[in-house]
Chain A
Amino acid sequence: MKKWFPALLLLSAFTLSLYVGATQIDNFWSALINPGSNEILWQIRFPRVTAAVIVGAALGVAGLLAQGACNNAVAEPAILGTAAGAAFGAVLAISTGLVEVGTIGAIACGTIGALLTTALTFKLAAIRGALSSFTLIIVGIAISAIFTSFVGIASAMASRADARSISFWSLGSLALITSENLIGIALTTLIGVAIAWRIAPALDRLSLGDATAFHLGVNVARIRLFALIALSILAGGAVSTVGSIAFIGLAAPHIARFIYGPSHRKLVAHSAIIGGLIVVVADTVSRTIAQPNELPIGLATALLGAPVLIALVAFKNNVWRTQ
C-alpha cells in the first residue's frame, strides 16, 4: 500500500484538478470518459494538469540528480544556478525575438542556458582542484544570483507585450501551457528521467564519497557529467515552459527518500510522482483559492511542500546524515 499511495494520491489529485476551476463542468464523469467532448475539460484543463504532472516530475528528478551528483542534501536546480540559467536562456531568446514564449524553441534555449550555467558552476567550484560539496553550493548560489540579475536586465529590454508574458511566466504559472510545449516538455522529461534511471546505481555508490565510488568501479567524472546533462535537460525544459517554481527540486526527493529509503532507482520514480503530486495540488490551489485571480504557483508549492518536509526532518531524520 505504501508503495502505491503517492501514485493513488496523484491520480486522485489529477482528477480533482480537472474537476475544479472557475467554470463548472456539467456531467463531469461523462465528459471525462469521452475525450474531446468538453472544450474546457479537454483543451484547457487536461493539458494544464498534465503539464503540472510532467513539470513536477521533471523538477523532482532534477533535484534528485543534483543531490545525488553533489552528495549534498541541499543541492537542487535553483541552488546550482541551473534554474536561473534556464530562465536566462529562455528570456534572452524571447527578448531578442529569436523565439516566442511557450514554444519548443524557448524550451531548447532554456535547456541550453541551464546546461551552460550548471557546467559553469561545476567548473568554477573545481577550479582549485577536487570538487567539494560546500564550494559547489556557494558557487551555485553566486551563479544563480548573477543570472537572476541577467534575467531582470533582459526582461527590461524586452518589448511591452513580451515583458508582460515574461513577467507572468517568471513568477511560475501553468496558464501559458499549449499542446506544442506540452510535447516539448514531455520529451525533455522523458530523456532526463531515462538518464537518471540509467545512472541511479552509480549515484548510490557516489553517496559513499568519490574515492569509494571509484574503488567500486564508478567513473565519477562521467557520472557527474551525465547527471549534469540530465538535470539541465529536466530543469531547463520545466523552467522555460512554466517559469521558476521553487522548492519542488528540494522537497520531492527528500519526501521520497524519507518514505522509500535512499536507493536511487526507487527514488527516480517516487521523486517524479511526489513532484507531480505537489505541482498538481499547488496549481489547483493557486487557480481556485483567490478566484477570479490566479496566484503564482511557487507560493502554493512552498506552502504545501515546506511543512511536509519540516515534519519529516523533525520526526524521521536518519536517512541523510551530513558529515
Chain B
Amino acid sequence: MITIDEITIVRDGREIIYDYSEQIPAGSITVIIGPNGCGKSTLLAAIAGDIAPDKGTITIDDVHPILTPASSLAAIRAMAVQNQGFTLGFTVRQIVEMGGESTEVLQALGLTEISDRLVTTLSGGEAQRVAIAQAIAQKTPVLLLDEPLAAQDISSRKRIIELLQRLADSGITVVAVAHSTETELTWADKVIKQFH
C-alpha cells in the first residue's frame, strides 16, 4: 500500500501539488491522469523518492522513500522515466540486465529480436519499452511508470497492458501516468485525476 498524506510540492515558487492525500492499494494498477503541468509526473517522482514533498509524507508500506538509501529503495520500487535517453552504445539486453534477469521480460515486451541491438539506434517507442523492461526486471513490489504507452503502436500497447495486468495479479503495485481519458482506462483498477 502506498500512502500519500497531505503532501504539498512547490517547484520554482509554484505549488504543483497542494495538500493532497491518496491511498494506492497493493496488487493493483493505478493510473494518474490530468492535463499537462498538473503534477502527474511530479507525484510519481515523489513516490519514487526523487523529490521530497515540502509538506506531508509519502510511505510505501512503512518505508519513507525520501529517507531510504538508494540501494535499499531499488529493492522496493522501480521506475521507468518518460523519454529515457541513452548516450552509450549498450545493447538492449545489457540495459535490461542492469535491472535484473532479462530473458522473460524481453520476451513479454517483444524485445527478444532486438536484444542485441545498440540502444542508441532505437526508435522512441522501442527505447521506452526497454526502459519499462529494465524497471520490471528489478522485480520490486512497486512499479512506477511515466507515460508507458506514449509512442507505442497498438500491438505494443496491448502487450504492455497485458503484462502490467499479469504483474498486478501477482501482487505487484503498478502506478502509471497516462495521457488518456478515464473511459479508455478499462485496464486500470483505479484512476486518479490530478487537477491543479
Among listed A85-93, A109-117, A207-215, interface-contacting one:
A207-215
Interface string of B59-89 (1 = CB under 8 A from A): 0000000000111011101110100111111
**Is the beta-carbon distance between B94 and A319 smaller than 8 angstroms?**
no
A residues less than 8 Å from B90 (CB atoms): 204, 207, 261-263
- Chain A residue nearest to B72 in the complex (CB): A217
**Is the beta-carbon distance between A215 and B48 smaller than 8 angstroms?**
yes
**Is the beta-carbon distance between B71 and A219 smaller than 8 angstroms?**
yes
Give the shortest distance, in Å, between B6 (CB) and chain A (any CB): 25
Interface string of A102-144 (1 = CB under 8 A from B): 0000000000000000000000000000000000000000000
Q: Does B138 contact A (CB under 8 A)?
A: yes
Partner of A323, one of B45, B85, B131, B138: B85
**Is the beta-carbon distance between B89 and A320 smaller than 8 angstroms?**
yes
Q: Does A27 contact B (CB under 8 A)?
A: no
**Is the beta-carbon distance between B120 and A319 smaller than 8 angstroms?**
yes
Which residues of chain A from 267 to 323 have a CB within 8 Å of any chain B CB? Answer: 318-323
Q: Does A71 contact B (CB under 8 A)?
A: yes
Most chain B beta-carbon contacts within 10 A, residue among A212, A214, A257, A318: A212
A residues less than 8 Å from B78 (CB atoms): 215
**Is the beta-carbon distance between B74 and A215 smaller than 8 angstroms?**
yes
- Chain B residue nearest to A201 in the complex (CB): B98
Known: A319-B89, A321-B86, A323-B85. A263 touches B138 (CB 8 A): no
**Is the beta-carbon distance between A214 and B87 smaller than 8 angstroms?**
no
Known: A211-B81, A319-B120. A262 touches B88 (CB 8 A): yes
Partner of A262, one of B89, B131, B134: B89
Partner of B86, one of A208, A217, A261: A208
Q: Does A224 contact B (CB under 8 A)?
A: no
**Is the beta-carbon distance between B138 and A216 smaller than 8 angstroms?**
yes
Q: Does A218 contact B (CB under 8 A)?
A: yes
Give the shortest distance, in Å, between B47 (CB) and chain A (any CB): 12
**Is the beta-carbon distance between A215 and B135 smaller than 8 angstroms?**
yes
**Is the beta-carbon distance between A209 and B85 smaller than 8 angstroms?**
yes
Main secondary structure of the interface of A (DSSP, over half): loop
In the complex the two chains form, what is the Cα distance from A205 to B73 in whole Å? 16
- Chain A residue nearest to B144 in the complex (CB): A215
Number of interface residues of A (CB under 8 A): 26
B residues less than 8 Å from A73 (CB atoms): 87
In the complex the two chains form, what is the Cα distance from A73 to B120 in whole Å? 14
**Is the beta-carbon distance between A323 and B118 smaller than 8 angstroms?**
no
Q: Does B121 contact A (CB under 8 A)?
A: yes
A residues less than 8 Å from B138 (CB atoms): 216
**Is the beta-carbon distance between A261 and B89 smaller than 8 angstroms?**
yes
**Is the beta-carbon distance between A205 and B50 smaller than 8 angstroms?**
no
Number of interface residues of B (CB under 8 A): 32
Give the shortest distance, in Å, between B172 (CB) and chain A (any CB): 16
**Is the beta-carbon distance between A211 and B50 smaller than 8 angstroms?**
yes
In the complex the two chains form, what is the Cα distance from A216 to B75 in whole Å? 9
B residues less than 8 Å from A220 (CB atoms): 70
B residues less than 8 Å from A211 (CB atoms): 45, 50, 81
**Is the beta-carbon distance between B69 and A219 smaller than 8 angstroms?**
yes
Known: A204-B98, A211-B50. A217 touches B85 (CB 8 A): no
- Chain B residue nearest to A203 in the complex (CB): B88
**Is the beta-carbon distance between B87 and A322 smaller than 8 angstroms?**
yes
In the complex the two chains form, what is the Cα distance from A93 to B62 in whole Å? 55
A residues less than 8 Å from B131 (CB atoms): 212
- Chain A residue nearest to B75 in the complex (CB): A217
Known: A319-B120, A320-B88, A323-B85. A217 touches B74 (CB 8 A): yes
**Is the beta-carbon distance between A208 and B84 smaller than 8 angstroms?**
yes
Give the shortest distance, in Å, between A233 (CB) and chain B (any CB): 24
Which residues of chain B from 87 to 134 have a CB within 8 Å of any chain A CB? Answer: 87-90, 94-95, 98-99, 118, 120-121, 131, 134
A residues less than 8 Å from B135 (CB atoms): 215
**Is the beta-carbon distance between B79 and A263 smaller than 8 angstroms?**
no
Give the shortest distance, in Å, between A28 (CB) and chain B (any CB): 43
Give the shortest distance, in Å, between B1 (CB) and chain A (any CB): 21
Interface string of A229-273 (1 = CB under 8 A from B): 000000000000000000000000000010001110000000000
B residues less than 8 Å from A319 (CB atoms): 88-89, 118, 120
In the complex the two chains form, what is the Cα distance from A40 to B131 in whole Å? 59
Known: A215-B78, A217-B71. 18 other contacts (CB 8 A): A73-B87, A207-B88, A208-B86, A209-B84, A211-B45, A211-B81, A212-B81, A214-B49, A215-B81, A215-B135, A216-B74, A219-B69, A219-B71, A261-B89, A262-B90, A263-B90, A320-B88, A321-B89
Q: Name A's B-contacting residues (CB within 8 A).
A: 71, 73, 204-205, 207-209, 211-212, 214-220, 257, 261-263, 318-323
